[in-house]
Amino acid sequence: MSFLVSPPEVISSLLSAGTGSAPMLAASAAWDGVATELGSAAQSFSALTSGLAGEAWQGVGSEAMLAAAARYAGALSVAATQAETAAAQAQTVAGAFESALAATVHPALVAANRNQLAQLVVSNLLGQNAPTIAAVEAEYEQMWAQNVTAMVGYYGGASAATAQLTAWSEVQDLLAQVSSAIAGGPVGAALSSVDSAISSSPVGGLLSNAAETVNNDVGQVEEAVIDVVNETSETLIGRPLISTGSSGSTGSAATTNATSAVTTTSTSATVPLTVNGSEAIVYASVGNGSSQPLLVDTGSTGLVVPYQDIGGILGLFSYGLPTGFGIGGYSGGLDYLYVTLNMPINFGGGLVTNSTPVDVELFAWPTSLQALETNGFSFQNYFAHDGVTGVLGVGANASGPSTSSPTQSFSNSYYNEGLLINESAGTLTFGPAPTTLTSIATVTGAPITTLEVSVNGGALQSVSAIIDSGGVDGTLPSSLLGSAGTGSTIAVYTTSGQELYSYALDSTYYPTVTSGGSMNTGYLPFSEYAVYIDYAADTMTFYE
């Protein structure tokens, strides 16, 4: 396994953001407990059978039973020894991890270096920053080398510890051989007479508990090993190397967006839409990546995903040279550096776009102390509470971060005409405007338009607005509120006087009050209506 291709921000973040050595230390303590229980079980089993043979049971049957019991006790002793070895090796792996963590560069230092580079590049109009840029890049290369060295040492130590572990199948085979020998011999019938005695004795419960503990802790260690392997593979190829039964299929949207749920006709295509809290979510795979949850956002244009979602670092090199790069950001305190690559989007069921521009996030950094404490230096952490990994911007005139939406990149031109977001039906439909729903109102501009607002039944006030499905509770300029506060009724209308929706300012729905700027509707209109975006006309139509 090579860590040469993993940039320092990836390695440092993975080591610092995880659970650390605690799971391995816990596993070590658990294995110690298993070893103790197995050793006690072996001693108790031997003592019980010896007591029976020395008192009430004599003769050939007794001798055969003692021989069989000795083999069982031996198998338990071997298992106890293996458990002790597993405990020791878990301690070794934990120590190797702590050494690697201490040897890697702290994520904050890496992020500061990349942030400094981005600022220098942006301001390097006349080449005056060239020497400083070279120094920053040299420092970054040193960080890269330091992290690679630490990871190579970590991998070597962990691999050596793992190599010393003996497969538990050997103990299982030994127990199976003993059981077969007993069942096939004359002592089998004799031992059945003591079965009830063993079951009712304390050792019976001890053996049962020991077996359960072994199964549980074997599972814990297996899970820890799988996590170590998969963290690295997700960085390199964007997906787990070892399947755990919950990962999506590579290059398809088969996990949640099941093929059977995707329907296509000659003029339209429909995929499942889920709602997490206030967020509309669709599943799709990007490039070589696996199926991922994406936020359906009318407040932006274009698709933004982290590089892990397109197949990891290797996926970055699968679609040719970037067509652009830049720095983007989201309200709430996150900026990110991205490259633009052309690749297809797969919604499942054979519904795949042509190659279309995708902004691929390379690394992110917080823009405030609060954002640092909440999300760290992670694009994924910023969107984790929304239940998504990326943003599918579907707005017609949102003007960024891209110039076009992947929802207009299908080979079937009908699919590119518009998009119907129907949260109540749980569907996202690509194609012409619906003919089976009742239209309530149409506004010009999607999502940027003009609306009118009435506070507590007062006069209508015009306001520039963004009809934003990804805007959570939205925003409300203070100039509209005046002296009104909590408990006030806010009604929103089209410029033709058609009421779209209303709400009371309370703990259930309370937009962020801003000193100026546009009003953001947030998710509320999408929770009450099906909304159709007509890309050619640049309009939004609301349907019951």
Residue with the two structure tokens 């020991």: 210
Q: Is 335 a known active-site residue?
A: no
For residue 264, the one-letter residue type is T
Residue written as token pair 């970055």: 316
Question: Tokens 């992947």 belong to which residue?
Answer: 406
**Are the C-beta atoms of residues 206 and 45 closer than 8 Å to each other?**
no
- 266: tokens are 């000659």
The one-digit pLDDT tens for each residue of the chain (544 residues) are: 456 677 888 888 888 877 788 888 887 888 788 788 778 777 776 776 676 666 655 666 566 666 766 776 777 788 788 888 888 888 888 898 899 899 999 999 999 999 999 899 889 888 899 999 999 999 999 999 998 888 888 888 887 887 777 655 555 555 455 445 444 544 444 444 444 444 444 444 444 454 454 445 444 544 544 454 455 445 444 555 444 444 333 333 333 333 348 999 999 999 999 999 999 999 999 998 999 999 999 999 999 999 989 988 777 777 887 888 788 888 778 888 888 999 999 999 999 999 999 999 988 888 877 787 787 778 988 999 899 999 999 999 987 888 888 999 999 999 999 999 999 999 999 999 999 999 999 999 989 999 999 999 999 999 999 999 999 999 999 999 988 888 999 999 999 999 999 999 987 888 999 988 899 999 999 999 999 999 999 999 999 9
CATH 1.20.1260.20 location in the chain: 8-237
The long-range contacts involving 94-99, CB below 8 angstroms and separated by at least 24 positions, are 94/21, 94/24, 94/25, 94/28, 95/21, 95/157, 96/153, 96/154, 96/157, 96/158, 96/161, 97/15, 97/20, 97/21, 97/24, 97/154, 97/158, 98/20, 98/21, 99/150, 99/153, 99/154, 99/157
Encoded amino acid at 63, one letter? E
The CATH class given to the 439-543 domain equals mainly beta
Please tell me what DSSP assigns to residue 259. G
**455: Cβ contacts below 8 Å, ≥ 6 apart:** 461, 480, 481, 482, 484, 488, 489, 490
Choose among 488, 31, 45, 418: nearest CA to 224: 31
Reading the block at residue 119, the tokens are 């600022």
Q: How far apart are CA 146 and CA 3, in angstroms?
A: 11
DSSP, collapsed to helix, strand or coil, labels residue 447 as coil
Architecture of domain 8-237 in this structure: Up-down Bundle (1.20)
pLDDT of residue 61: 59
Whole-number Å distance between alpha carbons of 380 and 231: 14
**Set 32, 173, 297, 386: catalytic member:** 297
Q: Checking DSSP bridges between strand 530-534 and strand 539-543, what pairing results, if any?
A: antiparallel
Per-residue DSSP letters for 349-385?
TT-BPPSEEEEEEEEEEESSHHHHHHHTT-HHHHHHT
Superfamily of domain 259-430: Acid Proteases (2.40.70.10)
Q: What contacts 353, CB < 8 A, 6 or more positions away?
A: 344, 345, 346, 406, 407, 409, 410
**Alpha-carbon gap, residue 250 to 388, rounded angstroms:** 17
Contact 16, 101 (CB under 8 A): yes
The sign of the CA dihedral 380, 386, 388, 390 is: negative
Q: Give the containing element (helix H, strand E) for 138.
A: helix 130-163
Cα separations (Å) of 407 from 60, 354, 404, 437?
82, 10, 8, 22
Q: Where in the chain is the domain with CATH 2.40.70.10?
A: 259-430, 439-543
Give the strand pairing for 475-477 and 512-514.
parallel
DSSP state of 488: -
